[in-house]
Amino acid sequence: MKHLITALVLAFAASGSFAASHAAAAPMKEKTPQQEKMAMCNKDATGKTGDERKAFMKSCLGAKSAGAGAQREKMKMCNKDATGKAGEERKAFMKDCLSKKA
């Protein structure tokens, strides 16, 4: 009986170290473009909830990658121009700036 318990303990310990060494050796997979797009859209959707978030995510994920890049650049430009504005003034400025055609 002691031999059986010892064998089980050794087998369990060996399997744990085997799994740990293989997990550490496995390289991390790079994100696919779709996963990167999902992460970007999810980050941009922060603060939105319910139907507003659902609509935003649908349009963001459905956008062509070139359009998404252009929108991101436009957002950066408007955000930079809004420096110093706060509250409703900033919200109104951003809405106006983002709605303008490029």
Asked whether residue 36 carries a pLDDT value surpassing 90, the answer given is: no
75-100 residue pLDDT tens? 888 888 898 999 999 999 988 888 87
11 burial type by CB count under 10 A (0-12 exposed, 13-18 middle, 19+ buried): exposed
pLDDT at 33 over 60: yes
Q: Quick check: pTM over 0.85?
A: no
- Domain segments of the chain as ranges: 41-99
Cα 27–chain centre separation: 20
- How many Cα atoms are found within 13 Å in the side-chain-facing hemisphere of 62? 6
Residue 11: pLDDT band (50, 70, 90) is low
37-85 pLDDT, tens digit each: 888 888 888 888 899 889 888 888 887 655 556 777 888 888 888 989 9
pLDDT at 21 over 60: no
Tell me, what's the pLDDT at 64? 66
pLDDT at 20: 53
